[in-house]
Amino acid sequence: MKANKNHKPEASKITNKPEKVYDLKLLDEFSAGDDSFKIEMLQYFVQNSPAVIKELKERFRQNDWEGIRLTAHKYGSELGFIGIASLKELCDRIEKLASERKDKTLMEKLLSDMENSVTFVVRELINDFNLSQNINENLSL
């Protein structure tokens, strides 16, 4: 059987670029072309995220369900603005579970998933946008 010389591989087989976990469309619209503002917002997110994870975990240790709910709600808004849908959904699940005030085992798992995912996204943003790495070096809180 002869190979077809005119056959071209599918584009997906040529470009194995992984999908980004963020989508900056909303941030791009909001910044109206001001790249320095966009970088400033991303830098804030990168610097603030480890503290948010630490706060969520501390509130969990204190059995502060309302504190978890409020922190997750606020952080979820930031995630929506930055366009990190998977983390926004996870934050929404944490917020909902906290409002139900039950299932500590599931909450512990969700918080661990959040920490791992945030660590990944923060590193991705630092690399993709050359952001300052003068952040809490201990991303794994």
**Strand, coil or helix: 46:** helix
Cβ contact 97:76 at 8 Å: no
Q: Check whether 130 has a pLDDT greater than 50.
A: yes
Please provide the distance, in angstroms rounded to a whole number, between the alpha carbons at the two ends of the chain. Answer: 58
pTM: 0.79
Residue 80 vs residues 1, 32, 48, 136, 140: alpha-carbon distances, Å: 53, 17, 15, 23, 22
**pLDDT, position 8:** 44
- The 10s digit of each residue's pLDDT in 30-62 is 889 899 999 999 999 999 999 999 999 999 999
Q: Check whether 119 has a pLDDT greater than 90.
A: yes
Q: Check whether 26 has a pLDDT greater than 50.
A: yes
> Helix count (H) and strand count (E) of the chain?
6, 0
